[in-house]
Amino acid sequence: MGIEDLPPAPGKFASTVKVGEKGQIVIPKGARDLFDIHPGDTLLLLADVDQGIAIVRQDLFDQFIAKAMPPMPPAPGGHSTAASDEEST
């Protein structure tokens, strides 16, 4: 049995896909099931010339951004954003 015959580890998925004439790919069912992707879901495609292409569900990316960039606390004196400072000038 070669390494190519081994199943992927739990939580992992690997497959090849072909690019169609219109540049479309089909996400294999195993990957859709693993990542809970359903018809109509919005996916975010990230690409880097050195690192390749990644596809994530938009809602997971939104959660990441919300944790990485929490809302700013209100500034002393009641001004909560820089935009409100600009409006007062």
- Average pLDDT rounded to a whole number, residues 56-60: 85
What's the pLDDT tens digit per position in 22-44?
Answer: 999 999 999 999 999 999 999 99
The confidence band for 63, taking pLDDT boundaries of 50, 70 and 90, is confident
Name the token pair of 66: 């919300």
Q: What mean pLDDT is predicted for residues 67-77?
A: 83
Q: Which domains does the chain have, with CATH numbers?
A: 10-71 (2.10.260.10)
Q: What is the pLDDT of residue 14?
A: 86
Whether residue 83 is predicted with pLDDT greater than 60 in this model: the reply is: no
